[in-house]
Structure 1
Amino acid sequence: MNSFTLFKHSLFQLNDLHQAKKMPFWKVILYVLFLSIILALPITKQIFSIMQDIKNDGQKIAAKLPDFKITDGKFQTAKGAEGFIYQTNSIIFTFDPDGKRSVNDVTADSVGNAVGLGFLQDEFVIALPNSGAADSLLGASQFEVPYSKGTLDGLNSDNLKKSLDEANVPFWIKLVVFIFTLYPTFINLIINLLMVTIGANLYSKIRLYKLRFLDCLKISTYCATLPVIISSVLHFINSAFDDSFLIVFISLLIFFFAIRKEERQVPPLA
C-alpha cells in the first residue's frame, strides 16, 4: 500500500481507506503537504492575479505622472505640475508635491483590497490593506520612505515609467509567494486534521474499534483528500469561502465509512 493507491481509494473506494493506518508516519506528513499544495493553488492564483492587476494599474498611473525627479533627498517636479489622486481597482495613488495630503490620508485610502501609494512632499508611502496578513508576514501594513534618506535619489518619472512597462514578476518571487501561501495553509490543515482525529478517535472508542489515536490520524489524513479537492475548487469560484467546517465535517463522514471493515473489541460481560 502506498500514498498513490490510497489517493485513488479516497476518490473511488472509501471503504479501503482504513488501510492507511499501516502507512509510515513520515509518508503521512508528506501527504499532508501534498494536500496543502492543493489548497494553496487557488490562493496563489489569486495573489498572482492581484500582482498582475497592480502592474497593469501601475502602468495606467505612470502614464498620468507629470515630470518629476528625486535628487539630493528632495522631491522636485516640473513647473506647474499639479497634485492628483487616481484610483484603479487595485491602487489608490496620490501625487502631492504641495503637501496637501498626509501619510494618514494615504493610509485611510487603503480600503478593501486596494493598496494606497503616495508621492508626498517629503516621503513616499505604501499602505497595504489592513487584513492582518501584511502584519503577520511583513511586520507592518504601512511603509514610509523619506526622501531625505537618499534611498530614492535618482528616481524620476521617465525611469519609473520604463520600469513599469518592462516589469515582469521573476520566478523566484513567485516561488516565495507560493511558500508564504503554503505555510499558513499547511498549519491550518494540520489543525483541521487534529480536530477530525479527535472526533474520529472518540467515535472509534464508542464503537469499540481497535484503533489508536495515531491510527485515526493516519486514516483521517487520507479521508480529507476529497474534502480538500472540493474546497480547492470552491476557492477558485469564491476566494472568500471558509473551508474549515467542510473539511472537518466531510472527513469525519468519510472516516465513518472507511473503518467499517475494522475489527472491533469484544464488549465486556456485564
Structure 2
Amino acid sequence: MNSFTLFKRSLFQITELNQAKKMPFWKVILYVVFLSIILALPITKQIFSIMQDIKNDGQKIAAKLPEFEITNGKLHAASNAEGFIYQTNSIIFTFDPDGKRTLSDVTADSVGNAVSLGFLQDEFVIALPNSGAADSLLGANQFEVPYAKGALDGLNSQDLKQGLDEASVPFWIKLIVFVFTLYPTFINLIINLLMITIGANLYSKIRLYKLRFIDCLKITTYSATLPVIVSSVLHFINQSFDDSFLIVFASLLIFFFALRNEERQIPPLA
C-alpha cells in the first residue's frame, strides 16, 4: 500500500480508503503537503497575475512621469513638472516633488486591493492593502525609503522607465511567493483535517469501529483528496470561494463511506 494507490482509490474506490490506517505517519504528512500544493496553485496563480498587472500598470504610470532625478536626498523634477496622482486597477501612484503630501496621505489612498506608491519630496513610500497578510508576513503594511539614505540616489525617470520595460519576475521570486502561499495553506489544511478527524473519531466510536484517533486522522487525510481537488478547481473559477466548509463536509461524508468495509466491535451483552 502506498500513497499513489490511495490517491487513485480516493477518486474511484472510496470504500477502500480505510486501508489508509496502515500508512506510516510520515507518509501521511507528506500527503498533506501534496494536498496543500494543490490548494496553493490557484492562489499562487492569482498572485502572479496581480504581479503582472502591477508591472503593466507601472509601465503606464512611467510613461506619464516627467523628467526627474533623486540627488542629495531630494526629488528634483523639471521646472515645469507638476505633482499628480494616477490610479490604475492595481496601483494608486503619487508624484509629489513639491512636498504637498505625506506618508499618511499616500497610505490613506490605498483602497481595495490597490497598492499605493509615492515619490514624495524626501522619500519613496509603499502602502499595501490592509488585508492582514502584510502584517503577518512582513510585520507592517507601509514602508518608507528616505532618499537621504542613498538607496535611490541617482535614480531618474529614464532609468525607471527602462527598468520597468525590461523587468521580469525571476524564478527565485516566484519560488519564494509559492512558499509563502504554501505555508498558510498547509496550516489551514491541518486545522481542517483535525476538525474532520474529531467528527470522524466520534462517529467511529458511536459505530463501534476499532479505530484509534490516529487511524481516523490517516483515513480523513486521504478522504480529503477529492474535496481538495474540487475546491482548487472552484478557486480557479471564483477567486473569492471559501473552501473550508466544502473540504470539511465532503471529507467527512467520504470518511463515512470509507468505513463500510471496516471491522466493528461486538457490543457487550447486557
TM-score (norm. length: structure 2): 0.99
Q: CA deviation at 1:101?
A: 1.6
* 2:225 paired with 1:193: no
SS in structure 2 opposite 1:93? strand
Tell me what 2:15 maps to. Answer: 15
CA distance in 2: counterparts of 1:70 and 1:98, whole angstroms: 13
Cα deviation for residue 74 of structure 1 reads 1.6
For 1:110 and 1:232, locate their aligned partners in 2 and report how far apart those are by CA, in whole Å: 29
Kindly state the Cα deviation for residue 10 of structure 1 after the two structures are TM-superposed: 0.5
Cα displacement (A) at 1:240 = 1.2
Deviations 1:209-246 (A, max 9, x none): 00000100000000000000011011111111111111
1:121-158, Cα deviation, whole Å (9 max, x unpaired): 11111000010001111111000111122221011101
Identity of matched residues, %:
86
1: CA distance, partners of 2:73 / 2:101: 19
Residue identity matched to 2:18: H
Following superposition, the deviation at residue 41 of structure 1 comes to: 0.1
State the distance in 2 between where 1:66 and 1:91 align.
Answer: 18
How far apart are residue 73 of structure 1 and its match?
1.1
Please state if 1:227 is matched with 2:221: no
- Which residue identity lines up with residue 163 of structure 1 in the other structure? G
Deviation at 1:107, TM superposition (A): 0.5
Question: How far apart in 1 are the matches of 2:80 and 2:119?
Answer: 16
**Counterpart secondary structure, 1:239:** coil
SS at 1:265 equivalent: coil
**Which letter does structure 1 place at the counterpart of 2:122?**
D
CA distance in 2, matches of 1:212, 1:74: 68
Q: Greater shift after overlay, 145-154 or 168-177?
A: 145-154
The answer to whether residue 62 in structure 2 is matched with residue 67 in structure 1 is: no
> Matches of residues 19-58 of structure 1 in structure 2 within 5 Å?
19-58=19-58
What is residue 210 of structure 1 aligned with on the other side? 210
Q: In structure 1, what is the Cα distance between the partners aligned to 2:177 and 2:195?
A: 28
Moved over 3 A (4+): none
2:245 counterpart letter in structure 1: F
User: Could you tell me how far apart the structure 2 residues matched to 1:98 and 1:135 are?
Assistant: 31
Query: Which range moved further: 234-243 or 88-97?
Result: 234-243
In the alignment, is residue 181 of structure 1 matched against residue 186 of structure 2?
A: no
Matches of 1:218 and 1:9 in 2, distance apart?
14
Q: How many angstroms apart in 1 are the aligned matches of 2:257 and 2:151?
A: 62
The equivalent of 1:163 in structure 2 is: 163
Give the superposition deviation at 1:19.
0.5
Partner Cα distance (1:74, 1:116) in 2: 20
Q: Give 1:96-115 correspondences, 5 Å limit.
A: 96-115=96-115
Pairs within 5 Å for 1:123-142: 123-142=123-142
- Per-residue displacement from partner, 1:13-41 (whole Å, max 9, x unpaired)? 11000000011111100100000000000
SS at match of 1:50: helix
Secondary structure at 2:218 match in 1: helix
**Aligned with 1:86: secondary structure?**
strand
TM-score (norm 1): 0.99
| Unaligned stretches of 5+ residues in structure 2 | none
Residue 147 (structure 1) aligns with: 147
Measured in 2, the distance between the counterparts of 1:177 and 1:91 equals 20
Name the residue aligned to 1:78: 78
Aligned residues: 270
CA distance in 2, matches of 1:173, 1:144: 22
How far apart, CA to CA, are the structure 1 residues paired with 2:190 and 2:157? 48
AA aligned opposite 2:231: S
| Residue number in structure 2 paired with 1:239 | 239
> What is the DSSP-based 3-state SS (H/G/I as helix, E as strand, rest coil) of the residue aligned with 2:208?
coil
Shift of 1:72: 1.7
- Shift in Å, 1:5: 0.8
SS of 1:154 mapped into structure 2: coil
